[in-house]
Amino acid sequence: MTVVVNGERKEFSSGRSLAEFIEHLGLKDDRIAVELNRKIAPRNRWTEISLAEGDHLEIVHFVGGGLDYESPQSAHAFPAR
């Protein structure tokens, strides 16, 4: 079956859950959020959600960031826009 992930077509065997698809893609499930057909897919339901032909997924990866108050660079002040 074909599903669309972030605008790109992916082939996947039918009858599988969203959780299995995430594993198939090799993604860490604790660092992503998934939208299925324009609705947020709650993580606690990924094993219950079956993917169907033509489903559209948007997968967003969480990225850490922010200031490290220990580093010398953080001593610099940057003007606001």
Q: Where are the domains of the chain?
A: 2-75
Mean per-residue pLDDT, 60-79: 67
Q: Which position has the higher pLDDT, 17 or 80?
A: 17
Mean per-residue pLDDT, 18-46: 94
The C-alpha atoms of residue 61 and residue 13 are separated, in whole angstroms, by 24
Q: Is the pLDDT of residue 61 over 80?
A: yes
Mean per-residue pLDDT, 19-33: 91
Burial class of residue 5 in the structure, from the number of CB atoms within 10 Å of its CB (0-12 exposed, 13-18 middle, 19+ buried)? middle
Triad 9, 13, 14: Cα angle to 5°: 100
The two three-digit tokens of residue 23, written as one number: 């594993």
pTM over 0.85: no
Contact criterion met (CB below 8 Å) for 51 and 16: yes
The two three-digit tokens of residue 9, written as one number: 């077509």
Query: Would you state the CATH architecture of domain 2-75?
Result: Roll (3.10)
